[in-house]
Copies of this chain bind each other. A is one copy, B any other.
Amino acid sequence: MVRSYPANAENGAFLDDAVNTYYEDHGDAKSYPLILIHPIGGNILIWHHEIPLLLKSGFRVIAYEIRGHYRTGMSKVGAYAMQDLVTDLEHLLEHLNIKKCTIIGHSIGGIIASMYAAEHSDTVDAIVMINSSPKKFEEKDLEKHFETRKIAITQGIEALAENKLRSFDESRDLFKDKKHSDFFRDVFTKTSVEGFVAATIALYTIRGNVVDILQTSNCKVFAIVGSDDDVFMRLLKETKEEMPRLKVRILEGSDHWVIIEKPDEMYDILIEFVSETRNANVGLSRTT
């Protein structure tokens, strides 16, 4: 079921292969829209710190959940490519009649943002990738998911959450704090096994030409990354070499779950990036 919160958008399914995307549309419909996209195993709950602050700063905030994550169901078939997630976003933004926006995505969310921006340079003023990159992974980067998928399929999503909490594989210190581990467990276990498996396999299908296309577009490209997140540190370093205009901020001593680890520092950078874009955008419309 498609739902909006607050109730200021129409309800109804709008995807031809019957994915019912759950989204929330907060703030004034006339304000500049920010689109928030969560990581694999995440959902709208991960933005609980950011949404009220962004609203207070005068933005419209649209957050949604990708296939198989919490309140968004799967398609008629389980497997999907990244391009299908991009199409889902396309349908959502058409449904909401969004003509200009900034997309903020964490991990797979940032990949969706970058692929979408590459295809819709007229709509997307800027993307902010949080522990994410617009580049294809190397094979070794995705190998840990052979194990995570096996745990999810044979033991269930709760067992996988416990395994992640025990192995600290995505954060060195974060999950030692019960408040954070409880929150992680609560969020992560709302993911369906099917959704988790399909999303980790979709990571193989990232298009190889995203940086090249963004290169020649006017879309601003920002990144925020935890210094301990080796994979995205490497991919963003490579991206920066190919696209010097990329602005990257590194959060020292932080890992993949930077949103939970350093909420205040992360927010300060985020608001700086999106304010820059909004101001440039408002300035542009005034002079034209």
- Give how many A residues have a beta carbon under 8 Å from the other chain's beta carbons: 26
Which residues 72-91 of A have a CB within 8 angstroms of B? Answer: 74-81, 83
Nearest Cβ distance between residue A4 and chain B, in whole angstroms?
26
Tell which of A17, A79, A153, A194 has the most Cβ of chain B within 10 Å.
A79
A266 within 8 A of B: no
For residue A207, CB closer than 8 A to chain B, the reply is yes
Please tell me if the beta carbons of B201 and A76 are within 8 angstroms of each other in the complex: no
The interface bits of chain A over 185-208 (1 if a CB of B lies within 8 angstroms of the residue's CB, else 0) are 000000001100110011011011
A195, closest chain B residue (CB): B77
Residues of B within 8 A of A194 (CB): 76-79
- Assess whether A75 is in contact with B153, with CB atoms less than 8 Å apart: yes
Given contacts A76-B193, A79-B201, A201-B201, 6 further A-B contacts (CB under 8 A): A17-B153, A78-B198, A81-B149, A81-B201, A83-B146, A204-B205
Give 24 CB contacts A-B under 8 Å.
A17-B153, A17-B154, A75-B153, A76-B153, A76-B193, A76-B194, A77-B153, A77-B193, A77-B194, A77-B197, A77-B198, A78-B194, A78-B197, A78-B198, A79-B198, A79-B201, A80-B197, A81-B146, A81-B149, A81-B204, A139-B208, A201-B201, A201-B202, A201-B205
